[in-house]
Amino acid sequence: MFLHLGADVTVPKKDIVAILDVSTGVVDSTRDFLKTARNEGLLETITEVEKARSYVITTDVVYLSPISCGTLKKRASIHETERRSPVR
């Protein structure tokens, strides 16, 4: 299954490592990780920085998404429950 992150970007759910909220306080280690990702060209912005609501860390890229953490998590879990539902 895939997860839509905003604009025309979708990623395989199996590749998602973490979804982080931009508005919450970021600890130093996370801030350093994101700075390194940006410096190494691994940060992909789907939206303008001012409109970003979450960071989605995958196995090879970090996405700056306009969609909130809660919405992304709901989308991911909806697809998961659909897959597990018995066929009627």
Residue 23, strand partner residues: none
Q: What is the pLDDT along the chain (88 residues), one digit of tens a residue?
A: 899 999 999 999 999 999 989 887 778 888 888 899 999 999 999 988 788 899 999 999 999 999 999 999 998 887 555 555 555 5
How far apart CA 11 and CA 21 sit, in angstroms, is 18
pLDDT at 37: 94
Residue-range domain boundaries for the chain: 2-84
Q: What is the pLDDT of residue 12?
A: 95
What pLDDT, on the 0 to 100 scale, is given for residue 79?
53
Rounded alpha-carbon distances, angstroms, from residue 57 to 11, 53, 61, 86, 87? 10, 13, 6, 31, 33
